[in-house]
Chains A and B, each alone.
Chain A
Amino acid sequence: MSVQVEPKKLKWVGQRVRRKDGPEKVTGSLKYMTDYQFENMVWGRVLRSRYPYARIKRIDTSKAKAYPGVICVLTHEDVPGFNGFGIVIPDQPVLCHDYVRCMGDAVALVAAETEEIAEEALQLIEVDYEVLEPVTDPEEAIKDSAPKLHPSGNIHSRVHVKNGDVKKAFAEADVIVENTYYSPRQMHAFIETEGGWGILEEDGSLTIRCPGQYAFRDRLQIARVLAWNPERIRVISNPIGGGFGGKDEITVQIYLALLALHTGGRPVKIHYKREESVIAGIKRHPFKVTMKTAAKKDGTLVANKVVAFGDTGAYASLGGAVISLAIEHSCGPYYIPNVDLEGYCVYTNNGIAGAFRGFGVNQVCLAIEQNIDMIAEKLGMDPIEIRKKNVYHQGGLSSMGHRVTTSVGTWKTLDAAENCELWKNREKYKANPSEPWKKRGIGVATSFHGIGMGFGLPDYGAATIELLPGGRFLVGVCSEDIGQGNGTVFAIVAAEALQCHIDDIDVIQGDTRRTIDSGTVSASRSTYVGGNSVLAAAPFMIKLLKSTAAEIFKIDVDLVELRDGKLWAKVPVEGKNVLTYADIYQYLYEHRRETKVEGHFMVPKAEKQIGNNVGMPHHVYGYQTHVVLVEVDTLTGETEVLRVVSIPDCGKVINLQGLEGQAEGGAVMGMGYTLYEDTIIERGIFKTTNFTNYILPTFKETPIIETIPIEEAEKTGPFGAKGIGEVVMIPIIAAIVQAIYDATGVRINHLPATPERVYKAMKEQGVIYRG
């Protein structure tokens, strides 16, 4: 049973549809969960570690407990169940009892009448530490001499993929380049810092209102710590003031739950200040990537050898998966027959790293794209030509050695890049810098990103559709809207399938009581999985509508036709021969019948796993090419991105406005990663704790961004759609670095390419102003 709509008859899919949540978000009328205050509320605060690495000798909370206005003080002794959390391996203590392993570690919780009293009470908690030497360099961390931060050692995971004969290929190659690349510890910098509410309800159940990216998994993690039946916990995780992966892992949900059990039913609120968010929250993994790439004279790539170290900080979170995805994508969307790809995910005392838009691919994209540019330069080849020559096509083999049977748009995105106005007129654009000491350059790069969880990992979606009074529909998908606009996507898919106006669709997301489990909001998956889930539910709704109409018409269901959003009797009947959805609702309501249906969807998988690497390969990928124009001030090293052409292949576009929003936001986030952003940690201590020194691009740095979608329809996707949330920020990284090289002749292999780094490189290479 499925819904078929002829492409040319699509009414909503592919149009520029205004975000359903747009008006209240842009006018500021929407209240986020952390905006609320309640009369009888109490404030919760978290005591953090004083050192990046230390042994806890003693914790004394007596003074804090006795302090006026304090309601409770909790330590590891107050954790009723399992004292740990973590999506893959729960190795992060909820409240530390023996060691602290980073500055973000939580040691105690306080609830108090006011935020100030809670803050003061934290100061009264006495913790005696034995200070230990922190482990801060991943390469040092894996040596036997390094202190072991976890019983299993400091290597959290190792990924290795080997195909062909790398040694022989390098020996026979015509060109070889080898470079080492360093990437920054980017922070998510969502507007709404981590926070929320915990409320012990009168019936003894617990409600946690906390922005997150997977309410059902958050609920399981809370239940494990409380040793509670998860059904007694309700998690509400929508709306969210930005996620980008930073709210994929548990943030404050468990603290809220523990405190709520000790406040006598009063609602407890935690809302991090920016500084606490920076120190406690996860970050993007900084990588060191050493990559050696070889080609034949004609530009055919023949070998790639990669060693990547990812610094996951004190705890695993999704670090293992990040390294795995990085290795899977480390050869780019190309076919390279001989590869030896090795990745290490290493524990240190440098904060905690985890999920972040791009999930490891950002770091390796810089390496492979730069190496390819250097090969092209050595061979005198055009950068687009060499890429077109080496990309894999649908039905072909990837560098992982698996056959990619799903849609592949790389070649077309490169072709569009070659034919875009900016690229065709690049010499003209470069010839006229705004001041004589400035130099302009153009860069191009391409990348890809897996959709969903990959081989061996359960990946599943579900949706409900409920017929409402007046013939409206309520579409429920638990997967939250973290800013990307997936709620509007679900509404478009539903409106298309149910032949109704988009304004007649309401969407509910992120509530374990009112929606059913549809998996995470991560891995660029919610359009593909959520959209397919809505499409799986729609036929059941149509069946309900038709069978009810047949009952009213008193005819066989086969004689009922759904056309133009109404139900028609194909044969003469008593009374009117057409029924609206409102009529159907009225009939069902009067007969006390169910008006809600469910649809379920299993994400298809590739045929076989790559080695024994869990999650590898993916079945469906989104593809993306970027072209950028930059201007570098040779006096200061400042780089300005003037223009960006973003060419995504996301399969069929569901919402053109949404796609452009993602493409523009992704471009700016990628620009920030390349030029400005880095959370600096020295000897385990955070040096950039707020936006004074953590530099984000603002509107002033935002260039003109043009989006040219390539719609390489994927037959397993909803209406042919794939996913786009992450890849839109990836190749721009390498494209900017390449453009800086084109402008100045210096290659920046250590990001961000701050004015100081660019200037220093120019100075070392003698690039000077010649006005």
Chain B
Amino acid sequence: MALGIVTRLRPPRGAALGTRLAAGGAVLITLLIAIILLSLSTGPLDIPVSHVVSIIVEPTGLHLADYNHTEEMVVERIRLPRIVVGALVGMALGVAGATMQALFRNPLADPGTIGVASGGAAAAVISIATGASSLFFLALPLFALCGAIGTAFLVYAIAIASGRFSVATLILAGVAVSAFMGALITLVIIAEPEQGTLRGILFWLAGGLDSRSWDHVWLSGPLILLGGGVIVAFARDLNLLMMGEDDARSMGVNVRVVRPMLLTAASLITGVAVAVSGMIAFVGLIVPHMLRLVFGPDNRVLIPLSALGGAVFVVLADEIARTVISPAELRVGIITSFIGAPFFLFLLLRHSRRVSSL
């Protein structure tokens, strides 16, 4: 797969931070641009890449090739917003996954570890079942976002209820709340008499980027960039937190401020991602892992590259979802799991000694 190329281009492990970041960034940005162009040109209407490029650069005044109005509409109104949402969601999940793994010093942590994803999903499912999702435009993502953020606060409140914050309590509370939300979702599905509504729920749960518009971009983009930016700025603090709380504090990290802030940022961007795309599994778990194998555990490299890697992964998975059984579509969440799980296992077996490196 695409990231396999990165493995072959591995810079020496001892290479300086900037070198690793630049090498990884260059490869991933090139890949992302290539996949975006491919994705913009393929679909029910085949649009030549030259036309696609021309449509994109048109606002700058450059005119490269002639294209018709339909092509412009398809690229600008349908495919581009969908791809941008996909890239943003991938960024959010990649960054949130890497952050949670570092914060919890646990390679199995993912963006959903503290229950954010299942909380968002439960709120979305309930809003679909009750019809609240069609009350107004963007009602569904807003409900999902509220559910995600509400759940994050609930889990955090449980974790600090004992008087002293502990990571173990936080994870366990997240697991418990996730299980509860999962049961809630199952209950709603079983109790739903309407076939159409039921299908809508299952559709949403499988995660998808179909018919995402620029409104979804404006809803999710600023929050994801904000949350991601905060995490990038605190990447060095994450490194120190991986040494344990005492070590981090003795080296000058204000753990009591930094950790809740990073948790909030990671939860926020996860919630936003879930709100605009449903449940897209596996991205937050495997993207940081793959990149860690190549570039090492330093979060100052890993976090930015996870953003790019997540974007590449989700956009590519969506491209496959759109085209593999064309004209029908698969759900992107199914593709990420179908491709991600075997590839992850392949890496796991090949690097079994180093996957645990966290």
* Chains A and B form a bound pair: no
Which residues of A does B touch, CB under 8 Å?
none
